[in-house]
């Protein structure tokens, strides 16, 4: 039985194609900088938006047409969704997927029953992976939807909720390992606060760190070898989320002795919610050796929330791929489309249009980034801009040969600093435009 009878396997047809359900740039075996596009991009479909999203918003319930849904949250429908998901991913030709425990299986009336439901679906996921070759990029636990997490999970004022969360993440880790998941993600969810008047900030941060230390201990105990990834987000649903952005999260991890055990999963829309560009967040993570994976989406700059749109902007994808190529790839990480079709795009085929366009935008971004790197123009401009540090007093400062007194002597003798040169921003932007095609 087919759930998408009208959609064939998406072919690669080249840049001249006008077929909306064909790749114009994503040619998995095509080599760029000595590696296939498949290896560079490591695309993942996210289970929660693509197979659980119905298009609801604060003003109305979901109205997506999903003929395979029977309106229940039964185990039967969870198992049917696995078939939907794998048909979709096979047709797309995507190598990975990501999930939260509660996306794939429904909660039971207690933790024992909930774990049993999860095991039943995991069995089917495992079989489907073996049959199709599609793999799990990362797993995670939903510690935010159920009412018990109203005050947070590991940062809840209710110690029992901390305990429940520990049990849930323990299970999610086991399941991720069972499915050969290549990473495990921690997104803060409700780990933050809405008002400081009722919040013991220090105690909550201590608890968050304690929880992450326990997760690291358990990871080692069961021999899960994939990276642990923190996914920063500044707010939503809380007013202030503890993993605010990469810089803030790195300070937290270092402060609690956790920085060697974690990297980041950087999400575009979270970067912009923190009033950073994605380029900033990626670069900050990368220069600190912390860039592990990417939640590839985009926000709507006119709206102030996590709209999770599919990425189609070539400046964004090119800049993202520049940082990724610059650090020699994402290792075990990948590009996860943490993105949802608009409420107005309610037909099943829209799920294909969304992914095909986003994959193509990244494939094109990869080619653009590789062309920029090959010419070396941009790196030349930047290294020339810092040329004063390559010799003379600059090189001496970098080598630790100066202090305030010696620099005063130097400048008193010289009288004034050398003249500055232009930053040439407009010229550089024009150069970048030459590559965007």
Which residues are known to be catalytic?
100, 103
**Does residue 233 interact with ligand XLS by CB under 6 A?**
yes
Q: For residues 228 and 219, is the Cβ–Cβ distance under 8 A? A: yes
Spatial distance between the Cα atoms of 117 and 140, rounded to a whole number of angstroms: 16
Q: For residues 71 and 110, is the Cβ–Cβ distance under 8 A? A: no
State which residue, 208 or 274, has the beta carbon closest to Ni ion.
274
Give the C-alpha distances (Å, rounded to integers) separating 308 from 36, 113, 144, 337: 28, 32, 18, 9
**Does residue 272 interact with ligand XLS by CB under 6 A?**
no
Copy the structure tokens of residue 306: 């996590």
State which residue, 28 or 152, has the beta carbon closest to Ni ion.
152
Binding site for Ni ion (CB under 5 A): 267, 295, 306, 338
Reduced to 3 states, what is the DSSP secondary structure of residue 352? helix
Give Cα 210 to chain centroid, integer Å: 24
**Does residue 165 interact with ligand XLS by CB under 6 A?**
no
**Does residue 140 interact with ligand XLS by CB under 6 A?**
yes
Give Cα 186 to chain centroid, integer Å: 11
Nearest residue (beta carbon) to ligand XLS:
187
Q: Which of 88, 338, 341, 372 binds ligand XLS (CB under 6 A)?
A: 338
**Does residue 243 interact with ligand XLS by CB under 6 A?**
no
Contacts of 354 (CB under 8 A, 6+ apart): 310, 337, 339, 341, 345
Q: Which of 103, 243, 245, 267 binds ligand XLS (CB under 6 A)?
A: 267
Cα of first residue to Cα of last residue in the chain, in angstroms, is 40
State which residue, 182 or 306, has the beta carbon closest to Ni ion.
306
According to DSSP H, which parts of 56-200 are helical? 75-92, 101-104, 111-132, 159-178
Cis ω for the linkage preceding 237 (within 30 of 0)? yes
Which one of ligand XLS, Ni ion, none interacts with residue 360, CB within 5 to 8 A by kind? none
Place of tokens 């995507």: 94
The nearest distance, CB 258 to Ni ion, in angstroms, is 20
The nearest distance, CB 30 to Ni ion, in angstroms, is 28
The footprint of ligand XLS on residues 116-135 (CB under 6 A) is none
Q: Minimal CA–CA distance to 295: which of 246, 253, 222, 346?
A: 246
Which one of Ni ion, ligand XLS, none interacts with residue 182, CB within 5 to 8 A by kind? none
Binding mask 184-213 for ligand XLS (x = CB under 6 A): -x-x--------------------------
State which residue, 124 or 233, has the beta carbon closest to ligand XLS.
233
State which residue, 183 or 319, has the beta carbon closest to ligand XLS.
183
**Does residue 306 interact with ligand XLS by CB under 6 A?**
yes
Give the torsion sign (CA, 107, 109, 110, 116). negative
The footprint of ligand XLS on residues 340-399 (CB under 6 A) is none
Spatial distance between the Cα atoms of 52 and 47, rounded to a whole number of angstroms: 7
State which residue, 245 or 306, has the beta carbon closest to ligand XLS.
306
Which one of Ni ion, ligand XLS, none interacts with residue 140, CB within 5 to 8 A by kind? ligand XLS
Where does this chain bind ligand XLS (CB under 6 A)?
A: 100, 140, 185, 187, 231, 233, 267, 295, 306, 338
């Amino acid at each position: 039985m087919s759930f998408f009878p009208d959609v064939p396997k998406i072919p690669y047809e080249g840049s001249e194609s006008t077929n909306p359900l064909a790749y114009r740039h994503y040619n998995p075996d095509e080599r760029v900088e000595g590696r296939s596009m498949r290896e560079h991009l490591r695309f993942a479909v996210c289970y929660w938006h693509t197979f659980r999203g119905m298009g609801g918003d604060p003003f109305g319930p979901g109205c997506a047409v999903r003929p395979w849904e029977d309106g229940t949250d039964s185990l039967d429908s969870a198992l049917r969704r696995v078939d939907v998901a794998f048909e979709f991913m096979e047709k797309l030709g995507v190598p990975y997927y990501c999930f939260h425990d509660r996306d794939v299986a429904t909660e039971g009336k207690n933790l024992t029953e909930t774990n049993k439901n999860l095991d039943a679906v995991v069995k089917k996921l495992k079989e489907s992976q073996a049959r199709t070759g599609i793999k799990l990029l990362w797993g995670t636990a939903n510690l935010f939807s159920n009412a018990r997490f109203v005050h947070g999970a590991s940062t809840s004022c209710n110690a029992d909720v901390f305990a429940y969360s520990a049990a849930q993440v323990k299970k999610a880790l086991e399941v991720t390992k069972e499915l050969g998941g290549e990473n495990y993600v921690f997104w803060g969810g409700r780990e933050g606060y809405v008002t400081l008047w009722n919040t013991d900030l220090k105690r909550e941060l201590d608890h968050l760190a304690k929880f992450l230390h326990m997760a690291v201990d358990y990871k080692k105990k069961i021999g899960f070898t994939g990276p642990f990834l923190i996914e920063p987000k500044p707010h939503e649903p809380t007013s202030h989320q503890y993993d605010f952005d990469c810089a803030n999260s790195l300070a937290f991890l270092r402060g609690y002795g956790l920085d060697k055990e974690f990297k980041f999963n950087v999400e575009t829309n979270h970067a912009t919610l923190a009033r950073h560009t994605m380029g900033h967040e990626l670069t900050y993570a990368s220069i600190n050796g912390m860039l592990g994976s990417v939640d590839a989406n985009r926000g709507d700059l006119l709206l102030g929330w996590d709209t999770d749109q599919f990425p189609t902007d070539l400046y964004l994808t090119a800049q993202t791929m520049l940082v990724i190529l610059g650090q020699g790839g994402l290792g075990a990480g990948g590009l996860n489309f943490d993105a949802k079709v608009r409420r107005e795009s309610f037909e099943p085929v829209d799920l294909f249009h969304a992914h095909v366009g986003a994959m193509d935008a990244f494939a094109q971004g990869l080619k653009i980034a590789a062309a920029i790197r090959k010419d070396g123009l941009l790196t030349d401009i930047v290294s020339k801009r810092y040329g004063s540090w390559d010799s003379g007093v600059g090189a001496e400062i970098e080598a630790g040969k100066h202090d305030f007194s010696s620099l005063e002597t130097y400048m008193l003798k010289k009288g004034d600093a050398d003249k500055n040169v232009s930053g040439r921003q407009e010229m550089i932007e024009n150069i970048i435009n030459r590559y965007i095609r």
